[in-house]
Chain A
Amino acid sequence: MTDTFEEKRKDSVGREGTTIGLFFIRLLLNMGGGCGGDSSEEVAVDLGYEPHVLAVDDNLIDRKLVEKLLKNSSCKVTTAENALRALDYLGLGNDTPEGTASKVNLIITDYCMPGMTGYELLKKIKESSVLKEVPVVIMSSENIPTRINECLEEGAKMFMLKPLKQSDVKQLKWNFMKCRD
């Protein structure tokens, strides 16, 4: 049933129409509409809860990899190629049109990105009253203790070393994506 409405698919930031559409689909499903006779409670369970993850990374190969890892763990994935686009998608950007902020269950971001770093993105998210409860995970190819501490102190839930593996994503799902908002 979920496949009809919420196919696992990739959204590239910039396709504004789709995010509004998905919001309404979620709303309909939550109201128990259009699900062939299931009660709304059964619908919630049958949804098998596909967490929505926003993955931010300037490296194309890494974006593709993290997207596949997350999709293989039954997550809905949106990718962004830099922090500004991520902020825009989340509704925190300067250019975000009214009412198009997207709800995500987890944000996973690379640390080293041109322009705004993952750390700066983390700070912006934590400063937002709307988004500060969303768990943020930082990834980096470099194992630098000061960097790790800095991110954890700023509120990152976890710091992961790249390249990511399937076991890393399973861990993420277990820790941060069990519960609905």
Chain B
Amino acid sequence: MEVVQIQRRLVDYTKSLFMEGFLDGQFLQLQQLQDESNPDFVVEVVSLFFDDSEKLLNELTIALDQPNVDFKKVDGHVHQLKGSSSSIGAQRVKNVCIAFRNFCEVQNIEGCLTCLQQVKQEYYLVKNKLETLFRLEQQIVASGGSIPMIEMGF
């Protein structure tokens, strides 16, 4: 496939992620921070996010599986996940975390379990999307092209 075609695909794909709410403006901030001194910045930070999130999701699963749930502990983990997802622009994950924290506050176990399921779903979705995005970028670079800057209307 021609470089130009992959570049086109990347632009369209990225735009769709914004349109569908998977990513928000904070992701653009990350991309703008990347420069020649740190050309893999976005991939590095997002990889940290993946590792961190998977640990947190594990902790959450364990914490919510206890006979006496420690809601403070659960809230602590969700707070971390909300922070990280917000910082990289993973909007849908962040939004579930907000609802999740509300359920923690009122100690609603059912609500928490539902949110856990939802946040896992959203996390794996956005992980998949971002990995696809990075693969497209790699293809472009491997073909000698440059990554196009995305112009967003907002």
A residues neighboring B (CB under 8 Å) = 59-62, 64-65, 68-69, 72, 112, 114, 141, 162-163, 165-166
- Specify which of A60, A72, A163 is in contact with B52 (CB 8 Å cutoff): A60
A68 to B35 Cα, complex, angstroms: 10
In the complex formed, the residue of B with least CB distance to A141 is: B83
Min C-beta distance of A59 to chain B, whole Å: 5
Whether a CB of chain A sits under 8 angstroms from the CB of B29 is yes
Residues of B within 8 A of A (CB): 26, 29-30, 32-33, 35, 38, 41, 44-45, 48-49, 52, 76, 79-80, 82-84, 86-88
Q: Do A72 and B35 have beta carbons less than 8 Å apart?
A: yes
Give Cα A114–Cα B83 distance, bound, in whole angstroms. Answer: 14
- Select B87's contact among A62, A72, A112, A166, beta carbons within 8 Å: A62
Using Cβ atoms and an 8 Å threshold, which residues of chain A touch B45? 61, 64-65
Residues of A with C-beta under 8 A to B82: 141
Contacting residues, chain B, for A62 (C-beta < 8 A): 83-84, 87
CB <8 Å contact, A166 and B33: yes
Chain A's closest residue to B76 (CB) is A114
CB contacts (< 8 Å) of B26 on chain A: these are 163, 165
Shortest distance between the CB of A28 and any CB in chain B (Å):
25
On whether the beta carbons of A59 and B83 are closer than 8 Å, the reply is yes
Q: Is the CB–CB distance between A163 and B48 below 8 Å?
A: no
In the assembled complex, the CB of A14 is this many whole angstroms from the nearest CB of chain B, namely 19
Contact B88 A61 (CB under 8 A): yes
Beta-carbon contact of A141 and B35 below 8 Å: no
Report Cα–Cα, A60/B87, bound state, in Å: 11
Do A68 and B52 have beta carbons less than 8 Å apart?
A: no
Q: How far is the CB of B24 from chain A (nearest CB, A)?
A: 10
Q: How far apart are the CA atoms of A61 and B29 in the complex, in Å?
A: 14
Whether B33 lies near A68 (C-beta < 8 A) is yes
Q: Which residues of A contact B83 (CB under 8 A)?
A: 59, 61-62, 141, 162
Tell me if A162 and B80 are in contact (CB < 8 A): no
Taking CB as reference atom, which chain B residue is nearest A69? B33
Are B44 and A64 within 8 A (Cβ)?
A: yes
- Inter-subunit contact B29/A166 (CB<8 Å): yes
**Contact (Cβ within 8 A) A65 B79:** no
Which residues of the partner chain B approach A60 to less than 8 Å between Cβ atoms? 48, 52
